[in-house]
Amino acid sequence: MRRPNVIWFFGDQLRAQALGYRGDPNVRTPNIDNLAREGMRFDAAVAGAPWCCPFRAALLTGLYPHQCGVIRTPQALDPAIPTIAASFRAAGYHTAYVGKWHLDGSNAVEHYVPSERRGGFDYWIGYENNNNQHEAYVHGGGDEKPRRLPSYETDALTDLLIEHLTQHTSGRSADGDYPPFFAVLSVQPPHNPYVPPTNPSYAPSGRRPASIVFRPNVPHVRWVREQAALDLDGYYGMIENLDWNLGRLRDALRRLNVDRETWLIFFSDHGDMLGSHGQWHKSSPWEESIRIPFIVARGSGGRRGRTGRCDAVLNHVDIAPTTLGLCGIPAPRTMVGYDYSRYCLRPDASGAPPAPNAAAEPDSAFLQQIPRKFHAHTVNKSWRGVVMRDGWKYVAMPGQDWLLHHTAEDPYEMANLVHDSVFREQRRRCWRRLRQWIEETGDDFPLPPED
């Protein structure tokens, strides 16, 4: 039986809350919304390390950042550590990576990623890092000289992936077969600077900074709201462009007649605070930073994959084993994450997939900001945290309690209950689970006393 294709499509700094299907009134995302309706939504998914390089390393290896050695940005991933590409290649897949890499230890635009440090992908075209989506340069794909993308980054990278998939599937055999593919499209937007395309091909919403509807946890501080309004206006424009390109990719899969045999997984590496709690960007444990969209869909109209919502707290280390599970490929022993693919699979000719078993799944997700970080308007301390499947979240700084929220009742995290004796047992339960995560994963962090 033929194994399905898989595509990862992910942006940078796209928080879960900033999408139409999640109720944000400021943005129009019809293609992402359709994907959510036609697939399985993991609405509790988190970025356990909400910072570019640590998340990306965990994503590709299925290991926690401190286990694979990438704990900060920038930092290089050891090429001796196998990535998910190795598992797909061993199963006979063609592997392709297009876009932002950021795993070779540099923040420089001109940095060259050598072929032996590209994660073992068969086809690789991209760049290490870039914070100017209007002037992006790539290398690889048969031409190692840096070349400027001809249009806005997300548009041009989507073009490159579509072109490559068109070329790959055009080499079908007489019976219409071709090697299955695992492809990645990694784009920088909606990462700051928040400057959307100036001449978009899609229809912009007509939103203006003055019309932005703020989240309730954006404080009524003049400079915070003024800056947040400007940033959010551009941020939403970049998301609408991302949405348009998702639609183009799905149209291309239909045109190539491979949509029904291709899993499409849409997510982000972490979120962005954008003024909530007076903070910006990532590396914070609040919901706007750690919650990411995660949608798994196959085919058109959800005909080949399950639809609905899943409350599992899927973490960064779970993405690789879940992706392999969608294709019937066992995750290698090196990966420590959990395979949630059974939530997405429908019965096929070989029979029904195993039913989900919540009792056997992780009851929580482990959160980390390993080194102390000194970026403006963000938390300048190291921290560890845990988010429970029932919505309780606990976070500690070194030797000090910091946050306790029940996000199921308090999604904007307005009530910090960490020092409220009424909620002592909830804090203790979360503290013990966090200690267990630290011990199980071999992390090193000085927790405060239990009581």
Domain segments of the chain as ranges: 5-346, 381-441
Rounded to 5 degrees, φ, ψ at 108 are -75, 135
pLDDT at 173 over 60: yes
Q: Comparing C-alpha atoms, which of 249, 115, 89, 100 is closest to residue 182?
A: 89
List of E strands, 196-290:
262-268
Question: For the whole prediction, is pTM greater than 0.95?
Answer: yes
pLDDT grade for 375, boundaries at 50, 70 and 90: confident
Which DSSP helix (H) or strand (E) runs through 387?
strand 383-388
Which DSSP helix (H) or strand (E) runs through 57?
helix 52-61
Q: Residues 110-125: pLDDT tens digits?
A: 999 999 999 999 999 9
Average pLDDT for 89-109: 97
Average pLDDT for 67-80: 98
Q: Comparing C-alpha atoms, which of 443, 259, 332 is closest to residue 86?
A: 332
Q: Comparing C-alpha atoms, which of 49, 42, 40 is closest to residue 68?
A: 49
What is the percentage of the chain residues whose pLDDT exceeds 70?
97
Q: Do domains 5-346 and 381-441 have the same CATH topology?
A: no
Which residues, other chains included, contact 435 with Cβ-Cβ below 8 Å and sequence gap of 6+?
Answer: 447
Q: Output the CATH code of domain 5-346.
A: 3.40.720.10
At residue 96's C-alpha, the angle toward residues 93 and 99, to 5°, is 160
CA distances from 404 to 11, 188, 333, 386 (A): 29, 32, 34, 10
User: d(Cα 400, Cα 445) in Å, to the nearest integer?
Assistant: 11
Q: What is the pLDDT of residue 303?
A: 52
User: d(Cα 149, Cα 405) in Å, to the nearest integer?
Assistant: 44
Which residues, other chains included, contact 181 with Cβ-Cβ below 8 Å and sequence gap of 6+?
Answer: 5, 6, 93, 94, 95, 96, 165, 168
pLDDT at 135 over 90: yes
CA 240, distance to chain mean position in Å, is 17
**Under 8 Å between Cβ of 299 and 257:** no
Q: Residues 211-249: pLDDT tens digits?
A: 999 999 999 999 999 999 999 999 999 999 999 999 999
CA dihedral of 172, 178, 183, 189, whole degrees rounded to 10: 30
Q: Output the CATH code of domain 381-441.
A: 3.30.1120
> Packing angle between helix 316-326 and helix 52-61, nearest 10 degrees?
30
Q: What is the pLDDT of residue 74?
A: 97
Which amino acid, residue 124?
A: W
**Under 8 Å between Cβ of 86 and 329:** no
User: d(Cα 176, Cα 412) in Å, to the nearest integer?
Assistant: 51
